[in-house]
Amino acid sequence: MTDSLERVFRILEAVEKHEAIDEIIASCSIFSSLPDRDRFARAVHRREREQSTGIGHGVAIAHGRLPHLEKPLIALGFSENGIPFDDAYPEPVRLVFVIASSQNRDSDYLRAVSSILTWVHDPGFRHLLVGKSWEDESVITFLSMLEKQDFHPRD
């Protein structure tokens, strides 16, 4: 794994969703540019308490809003065994995305989330990603997109 990818990707040790969110925020340097990481973590946890961000199929997209961000910042945590996330979706979450976005840049946030969803809703791609098929061309493309923070829909 490249140093550049490590700034947006973490193999998680956490076994609980709030711990996983904190681990991603603390370990992925993409969030080091935030003016206040603790404030961001509180925003993500507050959102998670209001309504779980588990979306099914072993995926969660946790997010928090901060003022004055130029663009969304997105990192991904991978759980080997899965993390209980949501009663509505009993399948453990293995892919935990954490997104920092601005209240003033909804279109950028929606474009990034929409792009991620086109990838993770594909069962074949999800199987490759959670199966750690890091050499597969589609996984390389996805991780490169994440690494560059340049999100585009899956073809």
Domain count, the chain: 1
Element (H, E) at 96: strand 93-101
- What residues does 99 pair with on adjacent strands? 63, 74
* Calculated CA dihedral for residues 87, 73, 118, 46, nearest 10 degrees: 20
In the predicted structure, residue 103 carries a pLDDT above the cut 90: no
The predicted pLDDT at position 106 comes to 84
Biggest CA pair distance of the chain:
38
Q: What is the mean pLDDT of residues 22-28?
A: 97
User: CATH no. for residue 22?
Assistant: 3.40.930.10
Q: What is the pLDDT of residues 54-98, one digit of tens each?
A: 899 999 999 999 988 889 999 999 999 999 987 777 889 999 999
Asked if residue 54 lies in contact with residue 93, where contact means CB atoms within 8 angstroms, the answer is yes
For residue 154, being part of any structural domain is answered with no
pLDDT at 2: 66
130 within domain boundaries: yes
- Asked whether residue 35 is assigned to any structural domain, the reply reads yes
State the average pLDDT for the chain: 92
Question: Measured at the alpha carbon of residue 93, what is the angle toward residues 87 and 97, in degrees to the nearest 5?
Answer: 115
Confidence at residue 94, expressed as pLDDT on a 0 to 100 scale: 96
Tens of pLDDT, residues 126-137: 999 999 998 999
Query: Whole domain around residue 132: which residue ranges?
Result: 3-148
